[in-house]
Amino acid sequence: MKDHATIHRRFSAHLGTADHAPARDIRQYVLSLRSRKVGFGLIAPTLDTRFGANLRRLFPNARPVDAPDFAASEVFFATGTQFPDPAHSHKGGARLFANLPEGREVIFFEPAFLATTHNWARGFRDDDPAKACLGYVYDDLGYYFMADRPNRLTGWLNGDTDLTGAETKRARALIDRIATRRISKYNDQPMRAPAMTQGYPRRVLVVDQAYADASTVHGKVGEAEFERMLIAALTENPEAEVLVKTHPDTATGGAGRTGFYTHLESTGRVRVLKDPVNPFALFEHVDTVYVGTSQMGLEALFAGLRVVCFGAPFYAGWGLTDDRQPVPHRQRARSLEELFHAFYVWYSIYHVPGCDVPSRVEDALDFIEAQRPVTLPVTRAEADAPPKVSVIIPVHGVAGFLDQCLASVQRQSLREIEIIPVNDASPDGSQAIIDRRAADDPRIRPMVLRDNVGQGFARNAGLAAARGDFVWFLDGDDWLDNPDLLRRVHDLACAEGSDMVRAKKAFEALCDETGAVTGRRPDATERFFDTPVARTTFEDSPDLLHNRHHWTWLYRRAFLDDNDIRFVTPQWEERAFLTRALVRAKVISISTVPGPAYRVRPGSTARRHKTARDFDHMLTNFTHSAEALIEVGAHRRDDPLRHHLAYTATQFLHHMFVGPAWRQQRGTPDRVVFLNTARALLLRCDVRPRDVVTAAPNLPEPLVEAGAYPLLAAAIRAGRADLVDVAIDAAPVPQDVVYETALTVPASPDEADLQAALNTYARNERIRRVAPRRLQPRRKPRIVVHIGTTKTGTTFLQNLMEQNRPALLRAGVWYPEVGLFWQAGRPHKQAGHSEFTPAAVHGRPALRDHIEAGLAHMRGRIHTIVLSSEAFFLHDRAPEIASYLEGYEVEMVVYLRRQDEWANAQYCEFVAGGAIGRVDAPIGDWLDEARTRARLDYRRVLTAWAERIGHENLHVRVYEPEQMIAGDLVADFAATTGLGILTDLPRPDRAEANGARLAGPHVELIRSYNARPFPNRAAYFRFIEEATEALASYRADQGLAMPKPWVMPPATAAQVMADMAEANAGIARDYLGREDGVLFRQPPRMPEDTTLTADEISIVAECYGRHAPPPEPRAAPEPTGARSAAYGLFGWRLWLLTPLIALAYARLVNAEDLADFLRAPATHAHRYWRASHPRLTRWLYPGPRAGPVRRVWRLPLRIPRGVRPADTGAMTTPAHTQPTTRPSARLSRRGAL
């Protein structure tokens, strides 16, 4: 540590060192340093959890002065003044100048005037980030309070900048808000002034300050000036009482802080006020304010008072104050609005929690009003006015939280309200808290109930006493986080004539066992309400089903009374109340106004241990919710609210069965009653398994994917408690139970539903092999192995047999429920019985044992087993299945498709179908691969199977309608296998088939992304699924065709068929008995041409952006906008132009170079293209110093012939013919198309 004389000298030397940059805009300059490594003259606790805790929202790389690497900072920020006397100098600032490397830049900073929700002293003392500073002022010349030195604020005010009309209007509105809402530098002081002494016609105020404070020393005021100021107040106002307000820091800052008037006592006309009080509360009683340099002088100007300055504060010298000493360096008159704008809007930089950074002045004001611990006093007019809103608060056992709850309502900007806390026989000190606040606020109308009736009935009592036009419910342990909430929802209700207005839940406050808030999180369901909806209904806005709480709503009280909407249970009460209100409301408004904060705490009603009484209330609540919907006809299947009833029933299943209610009933006599009650409710609602809304949020994904919820509904309706347990536990079903159920002909719709639900559920790991009591029948059934080739209806046949498994079993045909494969979340992406191949190859007996046990359980009723999978064609060792199932008669059925069509379809599947092994190579390269060439020769598969099961057991069919029986795949497969039952079964929806869903240009576009990184396989599948659905939806909305994909050039297709001609002729002769050797009789089915639009490029780019891996961690975050500098405005070069360039580039380089380009386009371009094409490289991918993109260049891109559909037409459509709604798409048109 250097000696203090050196520290003071270094501090003084840095004042004014930035004079060489007279035109610098200090605000923009400071913001340009956000990503730099900066050192602050604050110790680590202050920067981490105390007053400076918000600074890292603006400067993420901020280092405290006691950090080991502090001296390695690039820029330094100093706070506090250094005097010759170290006792009066700022300690953090002293450490900064002691450790400051030579030649480094220093910027001075101080808290802004809208600094904290409490006071500065508590912000520094308390280890509470909630009290941290909300903003600072920065200056590279000196501090704003140094009257004898230049600073950027004085420079702005002396300059020629004038406000616009809008800026002036904004400043005036903010000044008025600060004054009327009593927002000050110290925001935790009482809002009520002490009683005034009687007998004085007027009063003036003299403001004390802390002794030896930097603002007084550099503001040219000391003991002599403060003495003259008090004398002047007395002599200039001989008839007035002189109020002397001591400085707040002398009361809160400890023994070390004293003021110039601390020693005074009240005498004569002088009354000394030492207790804290909000400045604006005092301003109501005075007409003149005398100050040295205190900020209260500025606040007095905001209140419209005369201000006399005996020092030189920054707001003096501009023609707004009565200045008693000359103020240097101030050369022009300024309005109060200009002064306010200069300091509060331009000079101050805010970083308010929960807001964008830099934040607005309005954000700081909102935060202070929402979080300060005091509320505005109620005026007589407000107390006498009829209440517009009644806020009803049930109170029981919430004394630790009630004060915050009540304060949040009292501070609402809508003042014409009544607050009705209903004491539901609370056993703690809640009533004392209510009484204390009610004594100061006549709008609080307490109610005390004799008996504990529960929060639902307590709300009913409050509702009966309410007088407001509207009603808001709030729980006693929650609070209104937004002080403007009630005004905004009330105004909206009046404007739209709403019966109900919804606000958003602000957040969930996470609490520990003591009730202290340890963190906050958003409510995931609030994402459904991010867009305002005016004048809607429950029917027209089904997203309202996701609403979780009744206390996010403003209700018209007459609407509740007219429809007799009340709470029907003491607890677990809100669902029935809210459902009845939503059903009955004629006009509903959905706002995005943030409102209540919900406290998540152990021991609350929602989180304590549940009892049988709780479950009774829940059941009653759900029953009333359902009845509210049934009353308006929702049980009818064509009713618009039918989905709403099914959703409610799904929530019932989840909460009452998957939740703890049913589990705690196990082993008790009440279980039968519980099940019967639930069954009666489902029957009353006419909710069957297929009605269950599995898309509802918060349902556990494993249960949804297992089909557990439809099984649960079916089991309840069938009275099967055993299967209820299976469903909620996602447990495997015993094999014998599955077959016994499936082999029984359903005698009722409920039995049929149970059979279907169990069939969907009991597959793979969810069916448990059970050792049979009897041996397997002596004669084994035959096994038909269906080998699926790409796009030959394999998935359709699999779905047919999958969905009809019980009916097939009763007919003696078993489509096994094990060895199956689906991609998670993509049921159309199934591979049938693909798991039989690895089981056979590796000798795993589980699947074979399952087959053996199943045949024994079904006691000779099965004559045919069908296994089906495309993997049987793609896997070279699939014929080993025949050996794996030794002892069975094995037959094989395969449908062959023209090789050019098969190759095109398989390639498109590998590229854009979300295949396990995705392909990023061009189709020509893929065709040249040895594995692909082998698959094109169908003799390979046929010969391998013939060697295992004999030529006579192979059934070769051609996938051409003209060569199939009745031109129908199902009829042909049934005839080929001798399974006539197949033609009598209900067929699956065509949408469940794994058909191609994209056109050729889309496949090529997706291919350009396949070489890019993804966090994992699941992310890649989600990207493919999302992009595919978005493209299909876009084409449907635009009326554009979506032909099947074709990416193979005609010459290539012809060559493929020529290469396979000899093999195909042999198959035709050997397996079909055709001496002419013609296997395929139809020419290739070429789809119509289509083109790629700019919007579609943008769609896929946006999808990838959502599923791409996060950026690799760096030693320090990149500056904001770095990606824009590298890739262009909004990153369009990276996500939109790159895929198009890749299409052309793929023809010029190898796969490794292409992959390198796709991983880092700008880096690759500058490394390999800049030398030969410097201008083009700069246009395509500007370097990091390129600055903002001011012009987007047109790229003369030629699409290679090999990637055009059928070698005809263009891959892209002229942009001017395509409408768009996305700015990124417009940008891509100008630049890429």
pLDDT in tens, 1011-1062: 899 999 889 989 999 999 999 999 999 999 999 999 999 999 999 999 999 9
pLDDT at 1145: 65
User: Between 131 and 255, where is the model more confident?
Assistant: 131
Measured in degrees and rounded to the nearest 5, phi and psi for residue 819 equal: 75, 15
- The residue-averaged pLDDT of 1114-1124 equals 37
Indicate if the pLDDT at residue 858 is higher than 50: yes
Indicate if the pLDDT at residue 949 is higher than 80: yes
Classify 604 as helix, strand or coil: coil
Could you tell me the pLDDT band of residue 1209, with boundaries at 50, 70 and 90?
A: very low
For residues 210 and 253, give the distance between their C-alpha atoms in angstroms, rounded to a whole number: 10
Please name the residue that has the structure tokens 């410097």: 1174
Indicate if the pLDDT at residue 1115 is higher than 50: no
Max CA separation in the chain (angstroms) = 130
- 358 preceded by cis ω (within 30°)? yes
- The residue-averaged pLDDT of 368-380 equals 88
CA angle 561, 566, 571 (to 5 degrees): 160
Ranges 276-280, 809-813, 1016-1020, 1073-1077: which has the least confidence: 1016-1020
Indicate if the pLDDT at residue 1219 is higher than 60: no
pLDDT in tens, 677-713: 999 999 999 999 999 999 888 899 999 999 999 999 9
pLDDT at 945: 97
User: Between 630 and 371, where is the model more confident?
Assistant: 630
Quick one: which of 141, 140, 129, 143 has its CA closest to 56? 129
Q: Strands, E, within 187-334: which ranges? A: 203-207, 241-245, 270-273, 288-291, 306-309, 322-323
Ranges 370-379, 474-483, 661-670, 961-970: which has the least confidence: 661-670
pLDDT at 130: 80
Measured in degrees and rounded to the nearest 5, phi and psi for residue 349 equal: -120, 120
For residues 249 and 119, give the distance between their C-alpha atoms in angstroms, rounded to a whole number: 9
For residues 387 and 156, give the distance between their C-alpha atoms in angstroms, rounded to a whole number: 47
Could you tell me the pLDDT band of residue 379, with boundaries at 50, 70 and 90?
A: confident
For 354: left if phi > 0, alpha if psi spans -120 to 50, otherwise beta; the answer is: left
Q: How far is CA 632 from the centre of its chain?
A: 35
Sort strands 553-556 and 470-473 into parallel, antiparallel or unpaired: antiparallel
The string of DSSP letters for 460-496 reads HHHHHH--SSEEEE--TT-EE--TTHHHHHHHHHHHH
pLDDT at 1013: 93
pLDDT in tens, 55-68: 999 999 999 999 99
pLDDT at 1078: 97
Ranges 450-464, 1099-1113, 1115-1129: which has the least confidence: 1115-1129
Could you tell me the pLDDT band of residue 993, with boundaries at 50, 70 and 90?
A: low
Which residues belong to CATH 3.90.550.10 in the chain?
375-600
Distances (CA, A) of 1011 to 913, 1014, 1020: 15, 9, 11
DSSP state letter for 1212: B
For residues 912 and 487, give the distance between their C-alpha atoms in angstroms, rounded to a whole number: 52
pLDDT in tens, 882-929: 999 999 999 999 999 999 999 999 999 899 876 667 899 999 999 999
Sort strands 135-139 and 105-111 into parallel, antiparallel or unpaired: antiparallel
Indicate if the pLDDT at residue 832 is higher than 60: yes
pLDDT at 320: 98
For residues 1072 and 954, give the distance between their C-alpha atoms in angstroms, rounded to a whole number: 11
For 158: left if phi > 0, alpha if psi spans -120 to 50, otherwise beta; the answer is: alpha
The mean predicted confidence, pLDDT, of the chain is 88
User: Are 1094 and 1215 in contact, with CB atoms under 8 Å apart?
Assistant: yes
Could you tell me the pLDDT band of residue 565, with boundaries at 50, 70 and 90?
A: very high
Classify 201 as helix, strand or coil: coil
CATH number of 375-600: 3.90.550.10
For the chain, what percent of residues have pLDDT higher than 70?
87
Ranges 107-121, 205-219, 1083-1097: which has the least confidence: 1083-1097
pLDDT at 1142: 67
Could you tell me the pLDDT band of residue 1182, with boundaries at 50, 70 and 90?
A: low
Which residues belong to CATH 3.40.50 in the chain?
190-331
Could you tell me the pLDDT band of residue 1143, with boundaries at 50, 70 and 90?
A: low
Quick one: which of 715, 521, 514, 526 has its CA closest to 602? 514
- The residue-averaged pLDDT of 1145-1168 equals 66
Contacts for 516 with CB less than 8 Å, ≥ 6 apart: none
- The residue-averaged pLDDT of 217-238 equals 97
pLDDT in tens, 325-348: 999 889 899 999 999 999 999 999
pLDDT at 316: 98
Tokens of 645: 């009833």
pLDDT in tens, 539-554: 999 999 999 899 999 9
Indicate if the pLDDT at residue 1201 is higher than 80: no
DSSP state letter for 1045: P
User: Are 718 and 741 in contact, with CB atoms under 8 Å apart?
Assistant: no
- The residue-averaged pLDDT of 416-426 equals 98
Q: How far is CA 1209 from the centre of its chain?
A: 42
Sort strands 203-207 and 288-291 into parallel, antiparallel or unpaired: parallel
pLDDT in tens, 868-890: 999 999 999 999 999 999 999 99
pLDDT at 548: 85
Could you tell me the pLDDT band of residue 604, with boundaries at 50, 70 and 90?
A: low
pLDDT at 606: 52
Architecture per CATH, domain 190-331, reads as: 3-Layer(aba) Sandwich (3.40)
Contacts for 1087 with CB less than 8 Å, ≥ 6 apart: 999, 1000, 1043, 1044, 1045, 1046, 1205, 1206
Indicate if the pLDDT at residue 1203 is higher than 70: no
Tokens of 482: 């937004």
Ranges 644-648, 1041-1045, 1135-1139: which has the least confidence: 1135-1139
